[in-house]
Amino acid sequence: MSLTLVNKSSFLNDWLNQMNEKVTYVNDKALVSSLKYIEEHGIPDLKSESYKYLNIESTIKRNFRSLTSAPASTVNSQVLEQYANKNFFTILLHGKNILHDIKTDTVTIYNNPQKLPTNLSGYLNQSNLHQKDFFAALNTAYCSDILIIHITKTPEKPIQIVHSFEHQKNNFHQQRILVVTEQKVQATIYEKFICNNNHSVLSNLFTEVHADKYSTINWISCQNDLSNNLFCFNNFAVNAQHSTNINHHLVSLHGNLWKNNLHFFLQDEQIKCSLNGLAYAKNQTIISNNTSIYHQKPNSESHQQYKNIADDKSTIVFNGFILVEQYAQKTNAYQNSKNILLSENASVYAKPQLEIYADDVKCSHGSSTGYLNQDALFYLQSRGISQSEAQKLLINAFCNEVVSTLNNETIVSEIESLLTNY
Amino acid sequence: MSLLSIKNLHVSVNGNEILKGINLEINKGEVHAIMGPNGSGKSTLSYVLAGKEGYEVTDGDVLFNGNSILGLSPDQRAAEGIFLSFQYPVEIPGVSNMQFLKAALNSIRKYKGQAPIDASEFLKMIKEKQKMLDLPATLLTRALNEGFSGGEKKKNEIFQLSVLNPLLAILDETDSGLDVDALKIVSTGVNAYKTKENAVMVITHYQRLLDYIIPDFVHILYKGKIIKSGDKTLALDVEKRGYDEFKQEESVKS
């Protein structure tokens, strides 16, 4: 299927023209509506609510002479060992290669687009993001690579998904992921990104998670690209069923651009959904997080805690949207964002947005932005602790409120060491 | 040579002159009490000595062990041996009391060119001081001052004093918000700290504290100046007759 855009930027036309792979796993209806969305909306500009502070087209033009997603060379299967860790099952997404070390009957991996079980691929596009977001639509219409993780029983170990863009010549990557958990499963998925490139890389990732009844999903996304060359657009959606526990952690540090759109559809009752985010931006990094929680049925709860620290000339955006539908009575929805500015040239934009159509709910939101507490700094200094050390102590304490909510030791120590060396 | 020598100190905050020429000498082994009505500049004096930002020294000097400290940052002053017990200790969530104290102690040791303290030695010292001040052990592992009662905060200040063992302890209204029992414990802590090699500056409104921490000198601070100095009986005079008499004397003089 191809698309000729009328009245759209020649840049977008050129970009789309070089994406000539066939998407075989998405049904025609979704394909058509994705293409329609792209045609009608084009690349989001500053007028678009969720991309308000990002001038995407000019950012891409400035950093990429052209975007190429030419097929990458096959990597040796031994590459997996570099990323593997005995504490995890590891899935390595390396260019267009998918390698993993999963040998268990609790988890099954499907990555051949021609051979996907239809009962699983039916869960694709349930979030409808391809009709709401340019990058989700782009992924749906043009991404030929799919990974399905089917978790039938509680896995023996957490699953680590490594997105590696190392040693790749092409600079544009798309990946589609679907995670399906069966009833009562408890799974931890730890996602990380490795770029280490000397050229800019654009990644467009679209993940959907179907959490079946009584399942628990702990999702940890650790976004840290030391090379500062990665521009990552990450659309993430969870469809949560009855009595599920969804715990999402998002830690964003180094990188050029991290754009996260997180959607949580609480489709049934008795769901507990907790979101914890830590964004700590330095240099000129842009971290922009949009969260959307959709309370669609009664008696569920959502908690959001986002902590942001902006240093140097960085920018952090947090938009937290909560929708409580008319029939979602007895909903508890809480949201809080705390923001610290460490430099006069850094910016934080935090905006809560609540739409409540039910009348018997408890909802709250709070947001505060400021510099580090000067009284606390003076207190620590007055005991002999240098200003920089005191600042570190206070920042660590601030970050720790997010890190301490993680319940896996290996992951905690990995993230703590990232923060210590940050 | 005095341990602390304040010479003609003038200090302004946001353009308002708060201290208008303070002169004070404190020698090792001495306890000085600073009394005075509200707004006389007592807390300003303590903040200036500790090096808080926003307090502008417009004239005069402060010498500690013979060297001016006005160019030093608060942490350098602490490492030189100046300790301020806060009137309102700051609550710092997420930083544990122990972690903080160890960081402070090791920072000071580093400044002095000493190696970091041995972990078991540190624990031993902590235990000993904690017992003396009747400080619940749970307060040590909790976040610094967070959710502490008024009395616990003040005890924690004196606990820090006894661990850091500075040359000069400035106690800014340490007695405020304390009941009699806590007052006794805090005073015991201060007296245990006191030796011939260090000095204490007690800032207080009330004579009560001075029953337990007995001063060698009492100074009355009024409108940014020390208007009268004397021995411990001066504090009793203040308690009996209030500040009005001293204020009147001062206005007659000027």
Kindly report the nearest CA distance between residue A35 and chain B, in angstroms. 49
Average pLDDT over residues B110-134: 93
Q: ipTM of this model?
A: 0.96
Q: Which of helix, strand or coil describes residue A78?
A: coil
Partner-chain contact B51 A382, CB within 8 Å = yes
Contacts for A182 with CB less than 8 Å, ≥ 6 apart: A151, A152, A153, A212, A215
Q: Which residue in chain A has the smallest CA separation from B75? A: A384
pLDDT digits (tens, 9 = 90+) for A70-98: 666 777 888 899 999 999 999 999 888 89
Among A16-25, A184-193, B81-90, B146-155, the range scoring the smallest mean pLDDT is A16-25
Contacts for A141 with CB less than 8 Å, ≥ 6 apart: A1, A3, A23, A26, A31, A34, A35, A38, A130
Kindly report the nearest CA distance between residue B93 and chain A, in angstroms. 7
| Chains A, B: CB pairs < 8 Å | 82
Question: What span, in angstroms and rounded, lies between the C-alpha atoms of A348 and A315?
Answer: 6
Q: How confident is residue A383, by pLDDT bands cut at 50, 70 and 90?
A: very high
What residues of B are in contact with residue A398 (Cβ under 8 Å)?
94
Question: What span, in angstroms and rounded, lies between the C-alpha atoms of A2 and B245?
Answer: 95
Partner-chain contact A387 B84, CB within 8 Å = no
What residues of A are in contact with residue B164 (Cβ under 8 Å)?
383-384
Average pLDDT, chain A: 93
A237 touches A127 (CB < 8 A) = yes
Predicted TM-score (pTM) of this structure: 0.88
pLDDT recorded at residue A5:
54
Go through chain B and tell me how many residues it has.
Answer: 254
What residues of B are in contact with residue A386 (Cβ under 8 Å)?
73, 75, 107
Average pLDDT over residues B184-188: 93
Neighbours of A73 (CB within 10 A): 11
Partner-chain contact B103 A382, CB within 8 Å = no
Partner-chain contact B107 A385, CB within 8 Å = yes
A65 to A9, A15, A45, A146, A385: CA distances (angstroms)? 16, 11, 20, 27, 48
Closest Cβ opposite residue B104 in set A373, A374, A384:
A384
pLDDT more than 90, % of chain B: 83
Among A92-106, A403-417, B182-196, B240-254, the range scoring the smallest mean pLDDT is B240-254
pLDDT recorded at residue A210:
98
> Is residue B254's pLDDT more than 80?
no
Partner-chain contact A381 B164, CB within 8 Å = no
pLDDT digits (tens, 9 = 90+) for A402-417: 999 999 999 999 999 9
Distance of CA A42 to the CA centre of its chain: 22
Residue labelled with tokens 């960081």:
B103
pLDDT more than 70, % of chain B: 100
DSSP string of A263-315, one letter each residue: EEEE-SSS-EEEEEEEEEE-TT-EEEEEEEEEE-SSS-EEEEEEEEEE-TT-E
Kindly report the nearest CA distance between residue A402 and chain B, in angstroms. 11
Closest Cβ opposite residue A381 in set B73, B89, B160:
B73
Neighbours of A144 (CB within 10 A): 18
Q: How confident is residue B145, by pLDDT bands cut at 50, 70 and 90?
A: very high
pLDDT digits (tens, 9 = 90+) for A292-302: 999 999 999 99
Kindly report the nearest CA distance between residue A381 and chain B, in angstroms. 5
Among A146-155, A370-379, B245-254, the range scoring the smallest mean pLDDT is B245-254
pLDDT recorded at residue B196:
96
Average pLDDT over residues A117-132: 95
pLDDT recorded at residue A72:
64
Nearest to B218 by CA among B240, B198, B238, B199: B238
Q: How confident is residue B251, by pLDDT bands cut at 50, 70 and 90?
A: confident
pLDDT recorded at residue A4:
53
Query: Does B151 or B247 have the greater pLDDT score?
Result: B151
Distance of CA A337 to the CA centre of its chain: 17
A266 to A244, A358, B99, B164, B244: CA distances (angstroms)? 9, 15, 41, 54, 70
Task: Count CA within 13 A, CB hemisphere, residue A16.
Answer: 25
CA angle at A405 for the pair A400 and A410, rounded to the nearest 5°:
85
pLDDT digits (tens, 9 = 90+) for B202-234: 999 888 899 999 999 999 999 999 999 999 999
Question: What span, in angstroms and rounded, lies between the C-alpha atoms of B157 and A374?
Answer: 19
pLDDT recorded at residue A20:
77
Closest Cβ opposite residue B94 in set A379, A387, A401:
A401
Partner-chain contact A378 B52, CB within 8 Å = yes
Kindly report the nearest CA distance between residue A223 and chain B, in angstroms. 24
What residues of A are in contact with residue B73 (Cβ under 8 Å)?
381, 386-387
pLDDT recorded at residue A13:
86
Among A1-10, A185-194, A209-218, A311-320, the range scoring the smallest mean pLDDT is A1-10
Kindly report the nearest CA distance between residue B96 and chain A, in angstroms. 9
CA angle at A342 for the pair A382 and A395, rounded to the nearest 5°:
60
Kindly report the backbone phi and psi dihedral angles of residue A119, in degrees, each rounded to the nearest multiple of 5, phi listed first: -65, -25
